[in-house]
Amino acid sequence: MIDHPPHAWTPVPGFPAPDSSPLDFDQHQHWMRLAIDQAIRAYDQREVPIGAIIVHDGQVIGEGHNLRETLQDPTAHAEMIAITQAASVLQSWRLLDCTLYVTLEPCPMCAGAIVQSRIPRIIYGTPDPKGGACHTLYQITDDSRLNHQCAVLGGILQADCRDLLQRFFAEQRAQGKK
Ligand SMILES: [Zn+2]
């Protein structure tokens, strides 16, 4: 049994932590903080605060935050933007040896893009009971009928990722917006 650092990881119901060392958890927290920085950028633009980064060889090669309202583009999710940028950097649609960090569990569209880009590992912050497609509603990223599966770990810095979303929606409600 691995002794996880306090607050670093919260179990996602039904999905126990895979075998990761405490060192991994330190790294996951480090990178997730950068994904949260991206989410804060979305928040500052009055977008639903979701952020993502893609790490390759210890370097960030893709980053993105939700820009759906700004761009009026239903595909402008944080993960999609980060994936496009990473593919451009690697000059390849195959994002081999990459890890995607995202503050919210990916939706079906993004989970599909993750499968298409062959990303081998996803780390997310907080589960999405309304749209999560890695664990919660669907398991698209771990479906053996598809030609690619990836390792998924949810719950890294979950409280930080969730609190930012909750604060955003509370403010939206207070402003009488939908
Ligand atoms: Zn998405």
Summarize pLDDT for 131-144 with one digit per residue, the tens.
Answer: 999 999 999 999 99
Distance 1 CA to ligand 1 centre (A): 33
Structure tokens at 91: 């000059």
Distance 20 CA to ligand 1 centre (A): 26
The model's confidence at residue 9, banded by pLDDT at 50, 70 and 90, is: confident
Active site residue 69: no
Q: Which residues contact 78 (CB under 8 A, 6 or more apart)?
A: 35, 38, 39, 42, 50, 51, 52, 64, 65, 66, 102, 103
Summarize pLDDT for 88-105 with one digit per residue, the tens.
Answer: 999 999 999 999 999 999
Summarize pLDDT for 126-174 with one digit per residue, the tens.
Answer: 999 999 999 999 999 999 999 999 999 999 999 999 999 999 999 999 9
Distance 26 CA to ligand 1 centre (A): 26
Distance 123 CA to ligand 1 centre (A): 14
User: Look-up: residue for tokens 């980053």?
Assistant: 63
Distance 171 CA to ligand 1 centre (A): 22
Query: Running DSSP on this structure, what letter comes out for residue 15?
Result: B
Q: Which residues contact 136 (CB under 8 A, 6 or more apart)?
A: 12, 105, 127, 128, 129
Find the catalytic residue in 47, 63, 79, 105: 79
Distance 3 CA to ligand 1 centre (A): 32
The pLDDT, as a whole number, for residue 125 is: 97
